[in-house]
Amino acid sequence: MSQTGYVYDPLYLDHYTSYHPECPERLEKIMSKLRETSILDYIQSIPPRPATVEEVALVHSPAHIEDIRQICLNGGGHLDPDTYTSERSYDAAMLATGGLLCAVDKVMEGKFRNAFALVRPPGHHAMPERAMGFCLFNNVAIAARYLEKTYGLERILIVDWDVHHGNGTEFTFYNTAKVLYFSVHQSWIFPGTGWTNDIGKGEGKGFTINVPLEAGMGDIEYETVFQEILYPAAMQYKPQFILISAGQDSHHSDPIGSMRLTSLGFENLTKMVMNIADKCCDGRIAATLEGGYNLEGQALSVAAIFNALSGLNFNVHEDTGVKRTATVSPMFMNDINEVKKIHEKYWDFDMNKGMC
């Protein structure tokens, strides 16, 4: 079995408008970086297919899907101040969703241990009846529902490290235990959701874990969140598949976010998720591209993620000139302990328990 697959198609570049941070150059720079570092020689292409309307309708209303199609047939246009379509955006969005589904299939079939869908437009803000936050269809949410329907999976973990909270993904799974949605994100920014007390409802109570962080958090804080909160909860949940909403706008260079992650930080977070996958679900991971708007910072971070996924050791780490800190602040730990306190009736955060 090959280790790592990737999804890419030039059609993803045909979703564009003028002067927008979510631009085709994001993918072009990523592909250039993967070639430049030779990582592309060690990972294998997964050709995408368009998702069917029925597959997208696992999450979105038929009316929403048709609205996007009709707007694009008429040449596209802005859906809100942030979210746009162009003539081929519907086709690109269907291929983005389908590309992630292809990645999921190949991992489930055992052709790859893991895969990364380098697709756009992104998805985690898209609501069942509304496009928003640069997103048309919620790729990761559709993939989770697809895993439920096609493969009968009952425990899917979604890890979302985009700097923005994935409100569309949370909304989709807020009432179910079939998906454990974990999001670590910057607080007090768009879309203004994802607070610590938002933990799910009904059967889903406790299966949404939000860790909103103050601006300025970096590698050590994110790794602490994964170690102290994600790891023990995931080990008790025992996911059968892990999906990653991989948004690299928490990188220190990003013009939209205010976090301080480095490419090495993204590599370490990926390894921590892989550790969970190795122990719980035979390593099965499919990541999908979300945000990330500094072209070089995003490309380096994606290369670092591939470094981890494929067990490579290429030098893809920037020199920030800032010494990596080894400790976190008491205020930060207070925030982490608050998350634990809210979720303690659902998860035991003792690291030695719940092993798969």
Model pLDDT for residues 292-347, shown as the tens digit of each residue: 999 999 999 999 999 999 999 998 998 877 667 778 999 999 999 999 999 999 99
pLDDT at 322: 66
CATH code of residue 86: 3.40.800.20
Look at residue 60 in the predicted model and tell me its pLDDT: 98
**pLDDT attached to residue 156:** 98
Number of domains in the chain: 1
Q: How confident is residue 353, by pLDDT bands cut at 50, 70 and 90?
A: low
Q: What would the mean pLDDT of 178-187 be, rounded to a whole number?
A: 98
Give residue-wise pLDDT tens across range 29-58: 999 999 999 999 999 999 999 999 999 999
Interatomic CA distance for residues 342 and 336, integer angstroms: 10
Q: Does residue 56 sit within a domain? A: yes
Question: pLDDT band at residue 64, thresholds of 50, 70 and 90?
Answer: very high
| Annotated active-site residue in 15, 125, 164, 185 | 125
Per the structure, the complete domain to which residue 21 belongs is given by 2-319+328-343
Of the pLDDT bands very low, low, confident and very high (cuts 50, 70, 90), residue 350 is: confident
Q: What is the pLDDT of residue 143?
A: 99
Is the residue at 352 inside a domain? no
Share of the chain above pLDDT 90, in %: 94
- Catalytic residue flag (residue 164): no
Question: Is residue 296 a part of any domain in this protein?
Answer: yes
User: What pLDDT does 352 receive?
Assistant: 53
Residue 354 is predicted with a pLDDT of: 47
Give a yes or no: residue 101 inside a domain: yes
pLDDT of residue 326: 78
**What backbone torsions phi and psi does residue 178 show, to the nearest 5 degrees?**
-75, -15
355 within some domain: no
pTM beyond 0.85: the answer is yes
Q: Is 304 inside a domain boundary?
A: yes
The tens digit of pLDDT for each residue in 87-104 reads 999 999 999 999 999 999
Residue 349, domain member (yes or no)? no
> pLDDT-derived band of residue 67, with 50, 70 and 90 as boundaries?
very high
Q: What are the pLDDT digits (tens) for 105-159?
A: 999 999 999 999 999 999 999 999 999 999 999 999 999 999 999 999 999 999 9
pLDDT tens-digit readout, 211-260: 999 999 999 999 999 999 999 999 999 999 999 999 999 999 999 999 99
Q: Is residue 353 part of a domain?
A: no
